[in-house]
Amino acid sequence: MVTYRVAVIPGDGIGPEVIREGVKVVDAVSELLGFEVEWSYYEYGADYYLRTGKTLEEDDLRELSRYRAIYLGGVGDPRVEPGILEIGIVLAIRFYFDEYINLRPIKLLPGVRSPLAGKGPKDINFVVVRENVEDFYIGLGGRFSGTSYSGRLEVVRSLYRMVLDLKVGVDASDEYGFQIGVISGRNARRVIRFSFEYARQHGMRRVSLIDKANVLPHIYSVWRRAFKEVAAEYPEMETEMLFADATSMWFVKNPEHFEMVVAPNLFGDILTDLGAALQGGLGLAPSGNINPEGTSMFEPMHGSAPKYKGLEVANPIATILSGAMMLDFLGEIEAARLIEKAVSEVLLEGKVRTRDLGGSARTYEMGDAIVRKLRELV
């Protein structure tokens, strides 16, 4: 029997509740299809940070490198200043393991109503590849007041003092902050090539590139050149280059236009939250942070939602579908498709619905319903 070893970080807020259901569903499908998943749990999150003052250190990341996949419930807690856990855990894992692809399917499932009137599952069914390790999320920047600077690199401080003196003038009584985005041609090409390959493998015909090259030409000219270079290798594909603000409008007006969308980190983050709303809410939106040759992490898009902690009202479907994406990544494609089918049929029947879907089912009741459906399908 094939055994897969997976690291589990339940995390904060509703994370442990939804991860419990994801593990339950993966265990059920593995039993039905004759493979095994061995789970190893790690306590990284708010409680661990408040107890130790640590997020993830080098030894922790080396420990996680023993696994091909990481299953994350969500991090974030009002007791911890925003950014500490997100940067210290989620971004630390993404960068350490070079998970340069953030794969986010935007798919309206049967039995779920979109907030867009007149739009159904055939209209809202596309994929966003979000670049995951560059752009404005690299953490390069700083703050200063007047002539006192705090930033990462002395050269950056000098550069930005010069630029601000030139552009806006520096008022010694005011406060300033700056953040630098970086895109490399090498990384842009591999992200875009992944997008074209995924589109080709899944029968898509259109690849849409997103950016704001009209106002951020230095960074996104590199992005666009990489797109044109890679697109030439796929002459059968229709391509287009769109601005992020216009794309947000078209997501709402004509979501059926999109098939494969490839976006830089910041705009991909924003647009996929809009996409999640189109598909019925964050409780239905899975994601994968993928290094095709290395350790990858799978998590729901919704994060930790701490105000719902312990109430058993969270919808676990995003986490369950993230588990299906994880199985697909590990090579258990039949198992992944079976989970997706079970989720779709439970939603279509409409007997078990969590609060976000207009029902009253508990988190564990949704997980139980999907497990029952899996057993009916095999």
Q: Are 326 and 88 in contact (CB under 8 A)?
A: no
Least confident of 59-63, 166-170, 198-202, 273-277: 166-170
| Partner residues linked to 176 by β-bridges | 144
Q: Which helix (H) or strand (E) holds 160?
A: helix 154-167
Q: Is the pLDDT of residue 168 over 80?
A: no
Query: Pairing between strand 148-151 and 206-211?
Result: unpaired
Name the pLDDT band for 319 (thresholds 50, 70, 90).
Answer: very high
Output the six-digit token pair for 374. 């899996």
In this prediction, residues 111-120 reach a mean pLDDT of 94
Domains of the chain: 1-102+285-378 (3.40.718.10), 113-134+183-278 (3.40.50), 142-180 (no CATH)
Name the pLDDT band for 1 (thresholds 50, 70, 90).
Answer: confident
Q: Is the pLDDT of residue 153 over 50?
A: no
Name the pLDDT band for 139 (thresholds 50, 70, 90).
Answer: confident
Q: Is 293 exposed, middle or buried (0-12, 13-18, 19+ CB in 10 A)?
A: exposed
Euclidean distance between CA atoms 77 and 270, whole angstroms: 21
pLDDT cut 90: percent of the chain above it: 86
Q: Is the pLDDT of residue 74 over 80?
A: yes
| pLDDT at 229 (0 to 100) | 98
pLDDT cut 70: percent of the chain above it: 91
Euclidean distance between CA atoms 179 and 282, whole angstroms: 28
Euclidean distance between CA atoms 344 and 102, whole angstroms: 23
In this prediction, residues 210-221 reach a mean pLDDT of 95
Query: Pairing between strand 3-9 and 69-72?
Result: parallel
Q: Is 290 exposed, middle or buried (0-12, 13-18, 19+ CB in 10 A)?
A: buried
Q: Which amino acid is at 224?
A: R
Q: Are 345 and 352 in contact (CB under 8 A)?
A: no
Nearest in space to 140 (alpha carbons), one of 128, 157, 124, 126: 157
Name the pLDDT band for 180 (thresholds 50, 70, 90).
Answer: confident
Least confident of 180-184, 268-272, 277-281, 288-292: 180-184
Euclidean distance between CA atoms 42 and 122, whole angstroms: 39
Strands of the sheet containing 36-41, edge to edge, are: 36-41, 3-9, 69-72, 296-300, 286-290, 101-107, 125-131, 260-263, 206-211, 238-243
Q: Collapse the DSSP code of 123 into the 3-class scheme (helix H, G, I; strand E, B; otherwise coil) and give the result.
A: coil
Q: Is 154 exposed, middle or buried (0-12, 13-18, 19+ CB in 10 A)?
A: exposed
* Residues contacting residue 30 through CB under 8 Å, at least 6 positions apart: 36, 37, 332, 335
Q: Is the pLDDT of residue 149 over 60?
A: no
Q: Are 273 and 301 in contact (CB under 8 A)?
A: yes
Name the pLDDT band for 198 (thresholds 50, 70, 90).
Answer: very high
Between 310 and 164, residue with greater pLDDT: 310
pTM of the model: 0.90
In this prediction, residues 320-348 reach a mean pLDDT of 98
